[in-house]
Structure 1
Amino acid sequence: MNIYVNARFLTQTVTGVQRYAIELIKQWDQLLEEEPDDRRFYSITLLSPPGAIHELDLKHIKVRRVGSFGGHAWEQLILPYYARKGLLINLCNTGPIWKRKQIATMHDTAVFDHPEAYSFLFRSLYRFIQKSLGKRAQRVLTVSQFSKSRLIANCRIKEDKIRVVSLGMEHMQKLDSDREMLSLHELVSKGYVLAVSSMNPTKNFPNIVRAIEMLNEVDYQIVIAGGTNGKVFGTANVPHSDKLKWVGYVTDPQLKALYDGAACFIFPSTYEGFGLPPLEAMTCGAPVIVSRSASLPEVCGEATLYCDPIDPRDIAEKIDQVMASSELRQSLRLKGLRRAAQFSWNKCAKETWEAVKEVVHT
């Protein structure tokens, strides 16, 4: 049985969606190592456009670069041709709208729920693709019960067609911290509040800065790590603050160092399909504050302190609580470690692989 994977993600900068695809494929390769019967029955090939920036060390999964251009045009025109003799797996929200034999992972429907956060062209294209793909795909995977409910509401996908599979966290455990990151930006270990993600306006970074400005006589900084893409997102309008250190896009080892050194991780996002950064922070032992919005309570459970994302004063109060109490920080740290241990890329891969087999055998 030929199984093809839409590997356009190999050409993209890593955010949560690409992280999911990369870790899933690596785990699938390991599952094939452990299951010789599956190796004999299934042939898995990653189909990638030119210009890949990621190389995966795979033993049983092939990588094939096809076509002479990339982007959405490659996905709609080139990919379905090379995947025509098998089942196509799409892992990153989009896929060819006319291919019948395919599975799609859709992480969220933010372009429907928060159109103001995206450029007109981006949201229009994604709305069309997601609705079409939701109807065409034989199975739709998503990452939380919250996202499942929004896919049903926005894309009119039948409930029994959707399977929820949570993400994992082992990628953070395997990393070595690049602690030069802390020295480079003059960060004192355990002495800063950290926020991590893209500059999507739904991440609510402006209210983090406003909250910090409301705190009196603090001796710590707020560090924001992550990039922005004006072609995709609207303007985040982050206000200026002398207490803010903007470190931009960071490598995985640098990110691990930032998590390890943080006294508190703040994530007052207003919309998340899953919310990988809080899980990563908990995995690294950082005390976490999140908003009680979208999928975040589903992922974080009782292991975090919750804030009102639209009220900077409440965010400030929660930061003050955590930073003022070493006992609270230690309690949140231990709860976070226990909660994070419930998530696994291995489990994610096995559940996803079972969904693939179901489609193959129907």
Structure 2
Amino acid sequence: MKIGINTFGCEHGRSGIGSYLISLFKNIDSKTKHNFILFGEEIDRYTYSEAFANSFEAVNISTKKPVLKLWHRIGILSFIKKQKFDIVLYPNPISFMPARFSVPSVALVQEIASLALAEKPFFKRAFIVRKLKKVHKIIAGSQYIRKDLIQLGIKDAKIEVIHNGIDHSLFYPHRELTGDTLVIKPFSIKRPYFIYVSRLQGEHKMHRELIDAFDLFKSKTKSEHRLVLSGSDGDKADLIHKAVAASAYAEDIFLTGHFPHENLPELYSCADASVFPSIAEGVGLPILEAMATGIPVLCAKAGSLPEFAGNSALYFDAHNPVEIAENLERIVNDEKLRETMIENGLDWVKRFSWTKTADKTIEVLENLEA
């Protein structure tokens, strides 16, 4: 079976879906009988080269969004025919997926579709939903996403939930890091600190509420803790930068920008806790990665986070900075609670692996072909 995978809209591996593809490809059994061919911009040949060095077809068109949109409406069908794909996988179907399909096709939905569509004009929302209804199969990253898709009118039978995995060879407790300062060039981060790994965008990420909570925590405890916000700038990132600048403890808030995924385990391991206040996450992979490195996780009881954290996290109302601050204080002062949460987290994440994710994904593709 020859499977085409569309890499347009995956931000060259720097987005969540881009990281997903890299991890998925690394864990597809090398003995598989199937032939996977990625296609997209020439630069992506090198983005995914570690997993698929000789399995990439460059599409030589302008990278301007209107041109890409037009190609996905018209040009992609002849490209698929020329490549003789048996199945095509679309990792970013909200942005780049054709309106009709000449071969069995699968949409990979890793975000809350209703949220992604909310700010689009009505006719665009309707057009994208119609495409999702037409595609042969949808792989949803969580039960929360599945329910959201059903509310948009997509049939439940079309949706298969496959959770993301964790790279346990990368995300594990780095107990050898014992110094007062974490040095990962070009960064030098003084401990102790709390960590929030998420793109700086949108009000639903709740960065400003976390900053308010951190201010309350610092004011009450006089602690030396810092707050590390790790993620590249997205829409409305300027509001988050302004909130940091306005904080009474701005000098203790550190923004890393985009942080290399391969160095995240060290960043997590040296933190006192991972704090994740986002209220609209379709997939809670960052909290699993944090647990796997042996630190406690505090997160909002919202979106897909309870699905991914189970009973292994300390939950809070993300709209309530006072409650967040109280939980920060608890996790710092209650050593027994810390130890219990770390132990429970390490046990919980054992059920998530990229090998399982890859195997289940191939099973969906094989069933579709049959």
Q: TM-score, normalised by structure 2?
A: 0.84
CA displacement, residues 196-252 of structure 1 (integer Å, 9 cap, x when unaligned): 11012211110110001112212111110101123xx57654513323111111112
Distance change (3 Å), C-alpha of 1:18 and 1:130: farther
Q: Could you tell me how far apart the structure 2 residues matched to 1:267 and 1:172 are?
A: 23
Partner SS, residue 83 of structure 1: helix
Other-structure match for 1:338: 347
Cross-structure match for 2:55:
62
Cα contact 2:173–2:292 (8 A) shared by 1:
no
Partner of 1:135: 133
- The one-letter code matched in structure 2 to 1:58 is A
Q: Counterpart in 1 of 2:15?
A: 15
User: Which amino acid in structure 1 is aligned with residue 106 of structure 2?
Assistant: I
Is this contact kept in 1: 2:140–2:160, CA < 8 A? yes
SS in structure 2 of the partner of residue 289 of structure 1: strand
Aligned residue in 2 for 1:351: 360
Q: How many angstroms does 1:7 deviate by?
A: 2.0
Q: What is aligned with 1:198? A: 199
Moved over 6 A (4+): 123-126, 174-178
Q: Once the two structures are aligned, what percentage of the paired residues are identical?
A: 23
TM-score, normalising length from structure 1? Answer: 0.86
Counterpart for residue 307 of structure 1: 316
Q: Give CA deviations for 1:234-283 in whole Å, capped at 9, x if unaligned.
A: 76545133231111111123322211110011001110111111111111
- Inter-partner Cα distance in structure 2 for 1:352 and 1:79: 23
Give the conservation status (yes or no) of the 8 Å contact 2:282–2:304: yes
Identify if the C-alpha distance between structure 1 residues 304 and 14 changes in structure 2 by more than 3 Å, giving closer, same or farther. Answer: same
Matched to 2:22, the amino acid is I
More off after superposition, 45-54 vs 344-353: 45-54
CA deviation digits over 1:82-112, x for unaligned, max 9? Answer: 22333111123442222243111112335x3
1:176/1:78 CA distance change after superposition, 3 Å: farther
- Check whether the contact 1:67–1:78 (CA below 8 A) recurs between aligned residues: no
Change (3 A) 1:182 1:6: closer
Report how far residue 63 of structure 1 moved: 1.2
Q: How many residues of Structure 1 are paired with residues of Structure 2 in the alignment?
A: 343
Cα pair 1:193 1:220 within 8 Å, conserved: yes
After TM superposition, the structure 1 stretch with the greater mean CA deviation from structure 2, 145-154 or 238-247, is 238-247
Are 1:219 and 2:212 counterparts? no
Gaps in structure 1 of 5+ consecutive residues: none
1:2-61 deviation per Cα after TM superposition (whole angstroms, max 9, x unaligned): 221112256535232211122112222xx2x234xxx2xx33211122332513223697
Q: Is the 8 A contact 2:10 2:91 kept in 1?
A: no
Distance across 2 between alignment mates of 1:263 and 1:186: 13
For 2:22 and 2:335, locate their aligned partners in 1 and report how far apart those are by CA, in whole Å.
36
